[in-house]
Amino acid sequence: MTTLIVILGVALVLVILYLIFKISNLVSIARAKTSVDDVDSSNGIHALLFIIFMVVGFTGFFWYSFAHFNSYTLPIASEHGAWTDTLFWITMGVTVVAFTIISIIKFVFIYQYQYKEGRKAKFYPDNHFLELTWTIVPALVLTVLVFTGLKAWNDITSPASENAEVIEVIGQQFAWTVRYPGKDNTLGDVHYQKIDAINEFGLDLTDNKSFDDFKSLELHIPKGKEVLLKIRAKDVLHSVFLPHFRVKMDAVPGMPTQFKFIATKTTAEMRDELSNPEFNYELACTEICGKGHFSMKMNVVVDTPEDFEKWKAEQESWLKQNPDYLKNVPAGLRESAILKAGIPEEAGVTYLEGVKAAGVGLN
């Protein structure tokens, strides 16, 4: 009952408001309140406001772009980055010039051709020269931009060279994991059905290339050597972003992607260049992937090739860290798994015997 009264009350208020609006409209029409002079003066004000908007807008745009240039452009630390930046600035130059000219014409025309009593618009149906010019010139410019962009895209996504350093980057809510191929320089097979709380890569341990793969909590890359990032996602869309290397590639569930590049400055060199001993490269996620998106970043270290090899040699294989998973290795491959994973032979044999004695898991 109360609800019904409230609904009726609200409906009544709405009807009263509508009637008041209707009456005031009728009154203003009856008094002929809106004269041609009123239109004239407000037109002039609006036209002037357009010009003010244009001047304030352009001043803000150009001032910010130049005054804060260094805060939104990062130093380049990759070979293709210089080319990507050149393309970016050419595109920016072309679009800013076009944007400025078009905006000025639009705002000035609004001011210039505001309503004036007695003035009639000229009938100007078409001009072939103008139509052809503003169709052909942008078409040519866009074609050049698209094809140079396409060439850059093909360069970064084409197959990597034989001796490239292959690193897998995996996105999941809300962290990155990185897998290195180990001493054999070949990543082992993975399968999503093998993923569990510990086997987060989904390593397929029937593939002998997977035995020496190792996980890292930092992305280490060598300076001056081609790096091929193989990218995948385990849940939703993520995006690998290495801003200093001008690397950005989506991580898509079910559709592996890749990006190859060559780093040109080690972390130490970049620290010197920026006079900032605290500086670190970072890998960030640039796809809004959920509520923890902000926390998806990883430290990136660019080493000299020697330091990189040294670091790799110090890493323990995933299988060595999780010897329980030896039971998933086919019997015939277990010995080579123990060797390749760097599990001390005695420990491996002892482990296998222990499992055998317990009569579980081994196949």
C-alpha closest to that of 183 among 161, 159, 166, 199: 166
- CB closer to Cu ion, 270 vs 296: 296
Per CB under 5 A, contacts with Cu ion among 35-74 are none
**CA-to-CA dists, residue 248 to 72, 90, 153, 204, 242, angstroms:** 16, 19, 11, 28, 6
Residue from 220, 223, 232, 238 touching Cu ion (CB under 5 A): that is: 238
Which of 283/285 has CB closer to Cu ion? 285
Q: What angle do CA 218, 190, 352 make, to 5 degrees?
A: 90
For Cu ion, the closer of residues 285 and 343 by Cβ is 285
Separation CA 321–CA 354 (nearest Å): 17
Q: Closest approach of Cβ 254 to Cu ion, in Å?
A: 16
Residue ranges in 284-323 that form contacts with Cu ion under rule CB under 5 A: 285, 289, 296
Pick from 311, 309, 312, 318: nearest CA to 342 = 318
| Shortest Å distance, C-beta 233 to Cu ion | 8
* Residue 169 is a binding residue for Cu ion (CB under 5 A): no
User: CB 267 → Cu ion: shortest distance, Å?
Assistant: 24
Residue 179 found at the interface with Cu ion (CB under 5 A): no
231 lies in the site for Cu ion, by CB under 5 A? no
Q: Of 172 and 317, which CB lies nearer to Cu ion in the complex structure? A: 172
Number of residues binding to Cu ion, judged by CB under 5 A: 4
- 265 touches Cu ion (CB under 5 A): no
- Kindly indicate which of the ranges 36-44, 178-186, 207-215, 234-242 contains the residues binding Cu ion, using the contact rule CB under 5 A: 234-242
Neighbours of 169 (CB within 10 A): 24
Residue 287 or 303: the one with the smaller Cβ distance to Cu ion is 287
Measured from the CB atom, the residue of 268 and 284 that comes closer to Cu ion is 284
For residue 175, the minimal CB distance to Cu ion (Å) is: 9
Residue 240 or 326 with smaller CB distance to Cu ion: 240
Burial label for 33, CB within 10 Å (0-12, 13-18, 19+), is: exposed
Residues that bind Cu ion (CB under 5 A): 238, 285, 289, 296
